[in-house]
Structure formats: C-alpha cells, structure tokens
Amino acid sequence: MNGSTTSVLYPGSFDPLHLGHLDIVEQGLELFGQVVVVALHNPSKPSGVFTIDERMSMMRASLAHLPGVRVERFHGLAVDASAEFGTDFILKGLRNAGDFEIEQQMAHTNHSVSGVRTVYVPCRPDQVFISSRFIREIAQYGGDVSHLVPAPVAHELARIFPSAPRSSGRTS
Ligand code: PNS
C-alpha cells in the first residue's frame, strides 16, 4: 500500500460469522486498509437463529484482533449504511457462480440507486463450501463446526447448542 487508506463496507447477515467471512475481512484490510463490517437484515432469508445482539457480540469478539476493522449494525439498505459509515466501496466475497449472479445484480442495483461501487474478492479455495446456513443446521443438531468458525463463534455455538449424542435419526 502507498500509505493512503480507503474504507470499505462489508455487509452481511453474519448468522453466524464464519472463517470465510474472516478471510474476506482480512483481504479487505490488505487491499484497502479499513473495513466496516455491518450486520444487515437480508429480507430474502428467514430471521435466523441468532439475535442481532448475539451476532454482534460474536463478530466483535472474532474481529477484535484486527486493527482497521469496525463492527456495526444497520437497519436499512447497504447503500445507506455505506453513506452512514462514510465508506468508499462495498466489499463482497465470491464463493462460486451462484454468488456471482446474485452479487452482480445487487452491485448494479446498488450503483444505479446511489453511485456506490462494489468490489468482489474471491474466497479462499479451501473455504468455498462454508456457509452460515449449514453451520446453523449442523450446530442445531449438536454437530461439530468448530473448524469452520472463529473460536468465539464456536464457543457461543457450543453454549447455545450443547453437543447431543448422535443418533440414527430414527424417532421410534
Ligand atoms: O450474508 P448475506 O445474507 O448474503 O448478506 C446479504 C445482505 C444483507 C448484504 C443483503 O441482503 C443486503 O444488502 N441487505 C440490505 C438491504 C438492501 O440493501 N437491499 C437492496 C439490495 S440491491
């Protein structure tokens, strides 16, 4: 970097934050210098397992070691969050072509309504399969997802969903 700092908004549901998200935050820091990680509501997803307060506390604990990162919440549009927090760009991570399709549409829409540009970065190849949805599903049944999430998230998942003995899945 040449010493100048650009700040980017990294919006998401973060329900919960996982190692793929952490990698995108680290890439954002390396490329731009400042990342504002913002928990937003995704209207196309169910309300989720974790309250906004639980998500925020897991995000804060997991990102506290990274100077240049700010963790916030916002009720509203990503472009309005970008204006509120004074960021220059929106940052998104891409795992696969499915992500690209939805992110491309959001990027064009966000630019058309506000002029804010979106920058994509590729996820690490060893993390392309990680998703918050499957982490929630596995954790709810007592499965171990500690290799997929930062330690504070693993700790919180274990507290909320204590490991249940595995069964065959039969109910009778
Ligand atoms: O982690 P997610 O669920 O993939 O994140 C999606 C999110 C929250 C970034 C997206 O749904 C979003 O930007 N929501 C805020 C509402 C908004 O700006 N809608 C217009 C999108 S063009």
56-105 confidence digits (pLDDT tens): 999 999 999 999 999 999 999 999 999 999 999 999 999 999 999 999 99
Calculate what percentage of the chain has a pLDDT beyond 90. 80
Query: Dihedral through CA 113, CA 118, CA 123, CA 128, nearest 10?
Result: 20
Smallest CA-to-CA distance from 45 within 153, 127, 110, 133 is with 133
Q: What is the pLDDT of residue 169?
A: 47
36-45 confidence digits (pLDDT tens): 999 998 777 7
How many A from CA of 168 to the centre of ligand 1?
37
Is 1's pLDDT higher than 50?
A: no
How many A from CA of 78 to the centre of ligand 1?
6
To test the pocket of ligand 1, the residue of 37, 49, 80, 106 to mutate (highest count of ligand atoms within 8 Å of its CB) is 106
| DSSP label at residue 72 | E
118-155 confidence digits (pLDDT tens): 999 999 999 999 999 999 999 999 899 999 999 999 99
Residue with tokens 């969903």: 161
Q: Which residues pair with 39 in a beta bridge?
A: 12, 73
**Average pLDDT, integer, range 3-26:** 94
pTM of the predicted structure, to 2 decimals: 0.92
Smallest CA-to-CA distance from 28 within 67, 75, 61, 54 is with 67
Residue 45 Cβ inside 6 Å of ligand 1? The answer reads yes
How many A from CA of 169 to the centre of ligand 1?
35
Q: What is the pLDDT of residue 44?
A: 76
Q: Which domains does the chain have, with CATH numbers?
A: 7-128 (3.40.50.620)
